[in-house]
């Protein structure tokens, strides 16, 4: 810190320069001279944290900037379609994701440092719903003559099919279940994921010319060896649709089932009622879905042996619809090893379940399933856990239950494909989502590691890139440090008709004539800032850096409350038989207003601060006919003194003082 003038007056022995100051200092120190430096502004593109937090790597900042009107659509294309094209470059399910994704992007949003995150999910839902309403379709690449078999038609398999068709490769999906969709269809209840929306987004993918074979289980109905002969590559995307059983004594009771089986029976329309007392073990989104569905289904007052829900779930019998009409509200309890506030499930889902009458208890661990004389479970013995997750001695007690549902994890079903199965019942993958030591085999989705739908979709995109390299006999290169779908300035310039000129080396006499000198170097490769064959004063670090909040000028952003979607709140008295969608979409004006809250981290959003505050008038607007996203301003270096003010007042962190070192 500089010495104040007051301190200089108090201390008469003050010396501005000390002995030895005449010696040259380091360059970093030499460039600073009061109000100027040799550093001049560079426009640096970096990845925003929302995108860095998105497992699918969506260009979130890009489609928000389109919705807000900052980035303009090409001639002949609406804003809505342009946002849809940008969004679906990474993820072909905007309507689905806008409803059910837990939105790690919103957790990463830098706007959290101001007041509240941008409602990315609500904007994504708008993009997807508008595309379905307009009947927008996907484009198919030029036919390559190659054919790929995809085993599994869930989110990973469908996303892989979409990306493969964009590249022009032929695709056949083999799905063991009657319909496509995987966990999107068989794991998520319709009141969270309307089936018309899901079908619309699936049909748009199959409409690209994807061959679909449902009800065909690879390893049973068709063998892998036959697929190897017929296809150029094979992608495993069969998901993890087998639930993990409760790992405690007594869990073999017939009325102890898995959450995956429970939800599949419900979503297939087979399960229409439950038992009187339902106990769910979990803590994640699946356990919340099970508990919420159980509350909606209710139980029947008279239950014959064949009507017991476990037999229906296991496919032995079917619900008697007439009796189901006489159902009453079920008593549903959910327990978790985690404290309630630290449960993995989305907080709003926990709040909804509680409001709907689900009793939730945290820090409980299953010890043993208590059985009756007939071998059926009558309850679950549990132990209380301390804050370190250890059982408290003497704290055990029994929770009564007629149906015990374990939603504690999932594994794959690799019957007939056992040679690919690892010790966890899944399939190993390398960083390129190839199956190790199995050339021509690739894998993505929950069968690698059960996680989010958007994780499966992101893995599918990487796997398809690897397939494409494999088919072209190209060597795979290292994946970028920030592995997302990046904004490409060169593509944007091409789209706007501003593509740089083709490079043409100058002859020596041309350079001498134009610049008045020559050197003994290859002058034919020499260029200047006036040449149009390069994008000057721009650096793309998006594949290497995520821009943090401390790089932004947060003082630019005024407090602006988030535009929140409304949730239809269903209480315990209303929940029985309530299967309507709970989420109410934002109106278009609200969506645009919400998109305007985006701080466009790492990319210019044309606020004019650098122009207004530059004391030298060195920062100027790019002429309109040459301007596009990322090329809104430029610096006149003949005027720039390197004062850093433009970088200090840049809200998005797009300007960095980097030249001159």
Query: In angstroms, rounded to a whole number, what is the distance separating the alpha carbons of residues 116 and 561?
Result: 7
Could you tell me which residue, 242 or 51, shows the higher pLDDT? 51
pLDDT digits (tens, 9 = 90+) for 466-484: 999 999 999 998 999 999 9
Q: Is the dihedral of CA 253, 255, 256, 258 positive or negative?
A: positive
Residue 38 has pLDDT above 80, yes or no: no
Instruction: Give the mean model confidence (pLDDT) for residues 380-394.
Output: 95
Number of helical (H) and strand (E) elements in the chain, helices listed first: 23, 22
Instruction: Give the mean model confidence (pLDDT) for residues 531-536.
Output: 74
The per-residue pLDDT for 299 is 80
pLDDT digits (tens, 9 = 90+) for 550-571: 999 999 999 999 999 998 999 9
Query: In angstroms, rounded to a whole number, what is the distance separating the alpha carbons of residues 619 and 612?
Result: 9
Q: Is the dihedral of CA 540, 541, 547, 551 positive or negative?
A: negative
Confidence class of residue 8 from pLDDT cuts 50, 70 and 90? very low
Q: At what angle do helices 588-595 and 120-134 cross, to 10 degrees?
A: 130
Confidence class of residue 346 from pLDDT cuts 50, 70 and 90? confident
Query: In angstroms, rounded to a whole number, what is the distance separating the alpha carbons of residues 452 and 225?
Result: 31
Is 480 in contact with 543 (CB distance < 8 Å)? yes
Confidence class of residue 641 from pLDDT cuts 50, 70 and 90? confident
- Report residue 488 CA to chain centroid gap: 19
Is 631 in contact with 493 (CB distance < 8 Å)? yes
Residue 6 has pLDDT above 60, yes or no: no
- Report residue 244 CA to chain centroid gap: 26
Q: Whole-model pTM?
A: 0.88
Confidence class of residue 312 from pLDDT cuts 50, 70 and 90? confident
The per-residue pLDDT for 532 is 75
* Alpha helices, DSSP H, located in 31-119: 49-53, 60-67, 79-87, 94-100, 104-108
Query: In angstroms, rounded to a whole number, what is the distance separating the alpha carbons of residues 598 and 605?
Result: 10
Mean model confidence pLDDT for the chain: 89
Q: 9-13, 183-187, 590-594: which has the minimum mean pLDDT?
A: 9-13
Instruction: Give the mean model confidence (pLDDT) for residues 271-277.
Output: 88
The per-residue pLDDT for 306 is 64
Torsion from C-alpha of 222, 227, 230, 235, nearest 10 degrees: 130
Pairing status of strand 619-621 against strand 633-635: antiparallel
Nearest to 143 by CA among 115, 165, 117: 165
Residue 105 has pLDDT above 70, yes or no: yes
Confidence class of residue 658 from pLDDT cuts 50, 70 and 90? confident
Instruction: Give the mean model confidence (pLDDT) for residues 147-151.
Output: 98
The per-residue pLDDT for 25 is 58
Query: In angstroms, rounded to a whole number, what is the distance separating the alpha carbons of residues 661 and 649?
Result: 22
Contacts of 295 (CB under 8 A, 6+ apart): 329, 330, 332, 353, 356, 357, 358, 572, 575, 576
Q: 91-95, 521-525, 548-552: which has the minimum mean pLDDT?
A: 521-525
CATH 3.30.70.100 fits domain 245-408: no
Instruction: Give the mean model confidence (pLDDT) for residues 380-384.
Output: 97
- What does residue 38 show for φ and ψ, rounded to 5 degrees? -85, 0
Which residue ranges make up each domain of the chain?
A: 40-47+490-500+535-556+601-659, 55-136+563-592, 139-241+412-477, 245-408
Give the CATH number of domain 139-241+412-477: 3.50.50.60
The per-residue pLDDT for 321 is 47
Beta-carbon count within 10 A of 409 CB:
19
pLDDT digits (tens, 9 = 90+) for 569-625: 999 989 988 899 999 999 999 999 999 999 999 999 999 999 999 999 999 999 999
- What does residue 514 show for φ and ψ, rounded to 5 degrees? -80, -35
Q: At what angle do helices 285-297 and 259-267 cross, to 10 degrees?
A: 50
**E strands present in 135-210:** 147-151, 170-175
The per-residue pLDDT for 383 is 97
Residue 302 has pLDDT above 80, yes or no: no
Residue 59 has pLDDT above 60, yes or no: yes
Burial track 344-357 (b if 16+ CB lie within 10 A, e otherwise): ebbeebbebbbebb
Is 192 in contact with 582 (CB distance < 8 Å)? yes
pLDDT digits (tens, 9 = 90+) for 192-241: 999 999 999 999 999 999 999 999 999 999 999 999 999 999 999 999 98
Residue 87 has pLDDT above 80, yes or no: yes
Q: At what angle do helices 60-67 and 120-134 cross, to 10 degrees?
A: 70
HSE-CB for 400 with a 13 A CA cutoff? 4
Query: In angstroms, rounded to a whole number, what is the distance separating the alpha carbons of residues 560 and 577?
Result: 38
Residue 15 has pLDDT above 60, yes or no: no
Q: What percent of the chain has pLDDT over 70?
A: 87
Identical fold between 139-241+412-477 and 245-408: yes
The per-residue pLDDT for 536 is 75
């Amino acid at each position: 810190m500089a010495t104040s003038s007051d301190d200089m007056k108090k201390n008469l022995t003050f010396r501005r320069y000390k002995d030895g100051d005449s010696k040259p200092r380091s360059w970093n120190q030499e460039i600073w001279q009061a109000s100027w430096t040799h550093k001049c502004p560079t426009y640096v593109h970096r990845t925003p944290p929302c995108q860095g937090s998105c497992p699918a790597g969506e260009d979130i900042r890009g489609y928000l900037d389109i919705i807000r009107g900052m980035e303009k659509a090409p001639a002949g294309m609406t804003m809505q379609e342009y946002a849809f094209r940008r969004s679906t470059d990474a993820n072909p399910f905007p309507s689905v994701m806008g409803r059910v994704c837990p939105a790690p992007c919103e957790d990463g949003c830098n706007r959290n440092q101001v007041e509240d995150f941008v409602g990315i999910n609500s904007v994504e839902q708008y993009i997807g719903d508008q595309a379905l309403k307009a009947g927008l379709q996907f484009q198919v690449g030029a036919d390559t003559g190659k054919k790929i078999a995809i085993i599994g038609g869930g989110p990973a398999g469908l996303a892989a099919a979409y990306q493969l068709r964009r590249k022009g490769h032929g695709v056949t999906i083999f799905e063991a279940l009657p319909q496509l969709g995987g966990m999107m269809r068989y794991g998520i209840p319709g009141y969270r994921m309307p089936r018309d929306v899901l079908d619309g987004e699936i049909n748009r993918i199959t409409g690209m010319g994807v061959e679909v074979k449902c009800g065909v289980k690879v390893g049973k109905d068709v063998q892998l060896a036959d697929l190897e002969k017929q296809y150029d590559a094979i992608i495993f995307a069969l998901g993890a649709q087998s639930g993990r059983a409760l790992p405690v004594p007594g869990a073999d009771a017939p009325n102890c089932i898995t959450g995956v089986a429970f939800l599949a029976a419900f979503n297939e329309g087979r399960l229409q009622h439950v038992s009187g007392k339902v106990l769910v073990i979990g803590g994640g989104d699946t356990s919340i879905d099970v508990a919420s569905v159980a509350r909606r289904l209710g139980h029947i007052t008279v239950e014959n042996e064949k009507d017991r829900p476990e037999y229906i779930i296991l496919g032995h019998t079917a619900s008697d619809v007439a009796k189901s009409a006489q159902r009453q509200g079920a008593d549903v309890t959910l327990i978790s090893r985690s404290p309630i506030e630290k449960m993995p499930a989305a907080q709003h889902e926990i709040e909804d379940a509680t409001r709907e009458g689900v009793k939730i208890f945290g820090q409980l661990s299953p010890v043993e399933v208590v059985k009756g004389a007939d071998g059926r479970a009558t309850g679950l013995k549990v132990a209380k856990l301390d804050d370190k997750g250890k059982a408290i001695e003497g704290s055990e007690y029994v929770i009564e239950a007629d149906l015990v549902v374990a939603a504690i994890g999932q594994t794959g079903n690799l019957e007939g494909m056992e040679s690919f199965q690892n010790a966890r019942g899944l399939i190993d993958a390398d960083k390129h989502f190839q199956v190790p030591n199995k050339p021509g085999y690739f894998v993505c989705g929950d069968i690698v590691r059960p996680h989010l739908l958007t994780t499966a979709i992101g893995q599918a995109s990487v796997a398809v890139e690897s397939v494409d390299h494999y088919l072209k006999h190209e060597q795979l290169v290292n994946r970028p440090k920030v592995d997302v779908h990046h904004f490409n300035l060169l593509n944007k310039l091409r789209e706007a008709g501003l593509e740089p000129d083709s490079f043409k080396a100058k002859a020596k006499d041309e350079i001498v004539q134009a610049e008045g000198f020559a050197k003994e170097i290859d002058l034919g490769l020499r260029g200047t800032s006036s040449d149009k064959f390069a994008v000057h004063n721009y650096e793309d670090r998006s594949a290497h850096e995520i821009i943090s909040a401390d790089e932004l000028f947060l003082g630019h952003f005024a407090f602006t409350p988030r535009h929140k979607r409304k949730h239809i709140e269903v209480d315990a008295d209303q929940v029985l038989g309530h299967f309507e969608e709970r989420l109410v979409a934002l109106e278009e004006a609200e969506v645009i207003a919400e998109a305007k809250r985006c701080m466009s981290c790492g990319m210019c959003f044309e606020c004019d601060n650098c122009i207004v505050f530059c004391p030298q008038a060195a920062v100027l607007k790019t002429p309109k006919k040459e301007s596009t996203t990322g090329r809104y301003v430029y610096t006149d270096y003949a005027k720039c003194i390197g004062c850093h003010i433009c970088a200090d007042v840049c809200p998005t962190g797009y300007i960095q003082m980097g030249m001159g070192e």
